[in-house]
Amino acid sequence: MSSLFIISLDFELHWGVFDKRDREARMQCYRQMEWVVPAMLKLFDRYGVKATWAVVGSLMVENEAEWQSLVPEKVPAYTNTRYSSFHYAEMNGLRGAAAAAHFAPDLVKAIIDCPGQELATHTFSHYYCLEAGQDPEAFSADLQRVQELAIRKTGRPVTSLVFPRNQYAPAYLDVCARHGITAVRTNPANWFWTSIGNEDTSIMRRIFRTGDVFIPMGAKSAYPLESMQWHQGGNLLCIPASRLLRQYDPALPWMNNIRLHRIRREMEYAARNGQCYHLWWHPENFGFHPQESLQELEGILQHFHILQQRFGMESFTMAEVANLCSIESQRDKGSAH
């Protein structure tokens, strides 16, 4: 089996940080996405790299009026209303200049139109599965709205999902499966990446997550294809993440070099050993230093091209990984008989 290079992107604009960042302070970053996302797509196309874009469903909407018409009948009743995007929208509004922070239908269309790119979901409302007050029924209503919107806008449902803030539990995997999701991204196999709520992130977890960007502080990031798990033996594949591509920091150029070197080493280990490497990041983070960030991305894609030529590494979307594992599973069952 060839080694696999998997990329998944959490595309969310302000929906991803409304509970902890000032919208006005980030508007320039969001506006940069108008050319950063097409630039990313050109790089992926140039190097033959596929990616799964987990898009917050609300980004597919044209304006505030359409968004309000799509609010699910049951919304999450978070004990802390700070985590509710619906409460945020009611208090702050989504029209006028603020619309650029919440709606990007043209960028979503560009993703769909680019060969090799998969449109996936990051839920409709950037739903937090582990916050007090919400429940699986509200999550189900959120995913139902995602699928209705995807079919309306693109003609087909989405089949891959990335959980906001990487929060999930078995009950939510069950809901995903009921709504036609066949692949989800799960967390790396390290204690400091286990799924927790927003209010449970300790200083120690943050220290280890940041430190692991530069030096090994946990399990190897690459893993065999056969180690991926089907949820309850069913039709939902859990695809572990390997590494978060942290954003470029102009104040620490030597640290940028270290983290990129670590990613390249990990990719090469996966390529040499026929394993999987799953890189993820937030496109919005490229908006702070777009030229430098795109240059870093091109360096990673160039390294993939080298590994592809030398070791046969292949680029797969999450949906393609799920399909491949399903085929391998059926083949193994056939061999057993």
What's the rounded Cα separation, in Å, for the pair 245 and 304? Answer: 15
Q: Is residue 60 scored above 90 in pLDDT?
A: yes
Q: Residue 184: which domain range? A: 4-336
Count the neighbouring beta carbons within 10 Å of the beta carbon of residue 157.
Answer: 16
Per-residue pLDDT tens over the stretch 246-281: 899 998 888 889 889 999 999 999 999 999 999 999
Q: Is residue 307 scored above 50 in pLDDT?
A: yes
What's the rounded Cα separation, in Å, for the pair 151 and 255? Answer: 43
Whole-Å CA distances, 151 to 12, 15, 123, 157, 159: 19, 21, 14, 5, 12
HSE of 193, CA atoms in CB hemisphere, 13 A: 21
Whole-Å CA distances, 218 to 13, 100, 123, 208, 306: 30, 39, 29, 9, 27
Most confident of 55-69, 217-231, 318-332: 55-69
Q: Is residue 334 scored above 90 in pLDDT?
A: no
* φ/ψ of residue 72, rounded to 5: -60, 155
Domain count, the chain: 1
Q: Give the pLDDT mean for 103-114.
A: 98
pLDDT band at 120 (very low <50, low <70, confident <90, very high): very high
- Provide the mean pLDDT of the chain: 91
pTM, two decimals, is 0.93
Q: Is residue 217 scored above 80 in pLDDT?
A: no
Lowest mean pLDDT among 36-40, 205-209, 274-278: 205-209
b/e sequence 239-250, b meaning 16+ C-beta within 10 Å: bbbbbbbbbbee
Which pLDDT value is given to residue 88? 98
Which pLDDT value is given to residue 196? 55
Provide, rounded to the nearest whole percent, the portion of the chain with pLDDT above 90.
80
Tokens matching residue 45: 């196309």
Q: Which residues contact 135 (CB under 8 A, 6 or more apart)?
A: 76, 77
Count the neighbouring beta carbons within 10 Å of the beta carbon of residue 170.
Answer: 8
Which pLDDT value is given to residue 33? 98
Which pLDDT value is given to residue 221? 87
Q: Is residue 191 scored above 50 in pLDDT?
A: no
Q: Give the pLDDT mean for 202-210.
A: 52
Q: Is residue 234 scored above 80 in pLDDT?
A: yes
Angle made by CA atoms 24, 31, 58, in degrees to the nearest 5? 85
Q: Is residue 337 scored above 70 in pLDDT?
A: no
Q: Is residue 228 scored above 80 in pLDDT?
A: yes
What's the rounded Cα separation, in Å, for the pair 274 and 1? Answer: 6
Q: Is residue 202 scored above 60 in pLDDT?
A: no
Q: Which residues contact 269 (CB under 8 A, 6 or more apart)?
A: 220, 222, 275
Which pLDDT value is given to residue 195? 53
What's the rounded Cα separation, in Å, for the pair 305 and 315? Answer: 10
Query: Residue 298 sits in a domain of what CATH number?
Result: 3.20.20.370
Helix axes 136-154, 105-113, angle to 10 degrees: 70
Which pLDDT value is given to residue 252? 80
Q: Give the pLDDT mean for 285-307.
A: 97
Q: Is residue 81 scored above 80 in pLDDT?
A: yes
Q: Give the pLDDT mean for 28-32.
A: 96
Which pLDDT value is given to residue 218? 53
pLDDT band at 12 (very low <50, low <70, confident <90, very high): very high
